[in-house]
Amino acid sequence: MPQFSITRRLPFRAADLYAVAADVPSYPKFVPLCSGARVWDESSDADGRLYFRAAIDVAYPKLRLSETLTSEVTADPVALAVRSVSKQAPAKIVDNRWLFHDLGAGGTDVDFYLAYELRSRTLQFLVTGMFDYAARKIINAFEARARELYRPVGDRL
């Protein structure tokens, strides 16, 4: 199963970066190829973890591809972690994880992990060729969104 994992140090508070990753309905505003996002069946537990289902519409007009990926999402504001798992078509499995390690005045280490296996061999072949590139674009988009919304740590007025 193809997978991508990276740790990147970013100059933002971990809680702010967590907020960007957990805000699934805003993904169409900044995530590449994401043309729509919906959330439903929201609940939480006594520890503050949020659980919901999310549908992300992915469109790649050049290849005339358009798919909706439905996932079970857990967003944990205490652990500063977001995990999304899908086992519905077009995927056999898509496992995406964000984990944010607050370094105080030094910013945050962001662990980003993405693994997938698609049901269609043709689609799997097409996606595998650009997988690393797409994963890097996703983490770059999250960093750009954080820059739009938050002040980097250490910035002075």
Q: Is residue 157 a part of any domain in this protein?
A: no
Is 48 domain-assigned? yes
In a domain, 155, yes or no: no
Pairing label, strands 108-118, 91-102: antiparallel
154 falls within a domain? no
Contact yes or no for 140/30 (Cβ under 8 A): no
In whole angstroms, give the CA distance from residue 3 to residue 142.
Answer: 19
| Confidence (pTM) | 0.89
Distance CA 115, CA 85 (A): 10
Domain that holds residue 111: 3-149
Within-domain flag for 111: yes
pLDDT at 124 over 70: no
* CATH number of the domain within which 109 lies: 3.30.530.20
Structural domain contains residue 63 = yes
Per the model's pLDDT, the better-predicted residue between 33 and 155 turns out to be 33
Size of the chain in residues: 157
Residue 110 forms part of a structural domain: yes
Reported as a single tens digit per residue, the pLDDT across 26-78 is 999 999 889 999 999 999 999 999 999 999 998 877 767 788 889 999 999 99
When divided into structural domains, the chain yields a total of: 1
